[in-house]
Amino acid sequence: MKWISNSPSNTWKIAAEFFQTLEKKAGGLASPVVIALHGNLGAGKTCFTQGLAQVAGVNEPVCSPTYTLISEYQGTVPFHHIDLYRLGGPEEAYDLGLDEYLETDGITVIEWAERAAELIPPDAIHIRLMRGEDEQVRTIEIIDNPL
């Protein structure tokens, strides 16, 4: 699947559509669900995650956990937002307990998943976000595992 977004609010709508497709395919969300996001800085990974969190019933603001690395929320299911941009290496991923989050019920969204490639489960859903030539345009695409 591939979408084109021209605004943050449109990216949220795309995230909601993706979430609903995921629910329909599985006849409900099988737990755990791991979503690995790929894209350069400013590609819209956190914006997409905010849209997913909203449709998953998270009622509080979702911010990038760049400095804390992991944020936990409660919606209709547990929602974990992980940002590995500042990860020091695979050892640090284990120290953080990343492997445990990947086995926990709920939805786990990982930005910069390639920084802990060896821990990402084979059934993770990979989504690439790319900026377009226009500053507001983003391409959002489900891709095969690039890791």
CB atoms < 10 A from the CB of 115, how many? 19
**Between 21 and 18, where is the model more confident?**
18
Could you tell me what percentage of the chain is helix, strand and coil, using 3-state DSSP and rounding each to the nearest 5?
A: 35, 25, 40
Number of folded domains that form the chain:
1
Residues 6+ apart with CB under 8 A from 72: 78, 79, 80, 81
Count of alpha carbons within 13 angstroms of residue 128, beta-carbon side = 12
* Tens digits of residue pLDDT in 57-102: 999 989 887 777 889 999 888 999 999 998 887 788 888 888 888 8
Residue 107's domain spans which residues?
2-143
Residue 8 belongs to domain with CATH number? 3.40.50.300
Position of tokens 């395919």? 25
* Tens digits of residue pLDDT in 94-139: 888 888 888 888 899 999 999 888 889 998 999 999 998 888 899 9
